[in-house]
Amino acid sequence: MKKMETELAQIGCRREPKTGSINFPVYFATAYEHVGGVSTGYDYTRTANPTRDVLQESIARLEQGDEGFACSSGMAAIQTVMGLFSQGDHLIVSLDLYGGTYRLFEENLRRFGLDFSYVDLRNMDEVENAIQANTRAIFIETPTNPLMQVADIQALCSLARRHQIITIVDNTFLTPYFQRPIELGADVVIHSATKYLGGHNDVLAGLIVTKGSELSEHVRYLHNAIGASLGPHDCYLLMRGMKTLALRMDRHQENALQLAQFLREHSLIKGEVYYPALDEKGKDTHLKQAGGFGGMLSFRLADANLIRPFLHHLKLITFAESLGGVESLITYPATQTHADIPEEIRLKVGVCDRLLRLSVGIEHIDDLRADLEQALSYANEYYS
Ligand X SMILES: *Cc1c(COP(=O)(O)O)cnc(C)c1O
Of these residues, 27, 98, 196, 332, which one is catalytic? 98
- Phi and psi (nearest 5°) for 39? -70, 145
192 binds ligand X (CB under 6 A): yes
195 binds ligand X (CB under 6 A): yes
Residues paired with residue 166 on neighbouring β-strands, in sequence order: 137
Q: In the complex, what is the shortest distance from the CB of residue 81 to ligand X, in angstroms, rounded to a whole number?
A: 12
Of these residues, 170, 234, 279, 371, which one is catalytic? 170
- State the Cα torsion 69-73-77-83 to the nearest 10°: -120
CA distance 76 to 90: 20
Specify whether 240 is catalytic: no
179 binds ligand X (CB under 6 A): no
Of these residues, 195, 211, 248, 251, which one is catalytic? 195
Residues paired with residue 273 on neighbouring β-strands, in sequence order: 299
**The only residue of 74, 199, 241, 333 in contact with ligand X, by rule CB under 6 A:** 74
175 binds ligand X (CB under 6 A): no
CA distance 171 to 208: 10
> In this complex, which beta carbon is closest to ligand X, that of residue 258 or of residue 336?
336
Site map 54..73 versus ligand X, x via CB under 6 A = -------------------x
Specify whether 98 is catalytic: yes
Strands 166-170 and 135-141: what pairing? Answer: parallel
Which DSSP category does 91 fall into? E
Q: What burial class does residue 11 get, using C-beta atoms within 10 Å of its C-beta: 0-12 exposed, 13-18 middle, 19+ buried?
A: buried
Q: Total residues contacting ligand X (rule CB under 6 A)?
A: 15
Q: In the complex, what is the shortest distance from the CB of residue 296 to ligand X, in angstroms, rounded to a whole number?
A: 9
Whether the Cβ atoms of residue 201 and residue 327 lie closer than 8 Å to each other: yes
Amino acid symbol at 232: P
172 binds ligand X (CB under 6 A): yes
75 binds ligand X (CB under 6 A): yes
Q: Which residues bind ligand X (CB under 6 A)?
A: 73-75, 98, 100-101, 141, 145, 170, 172, 192, 194-195, 204, 206
Q: Which residues are catalytic?
A: 46, 98, 170, 195
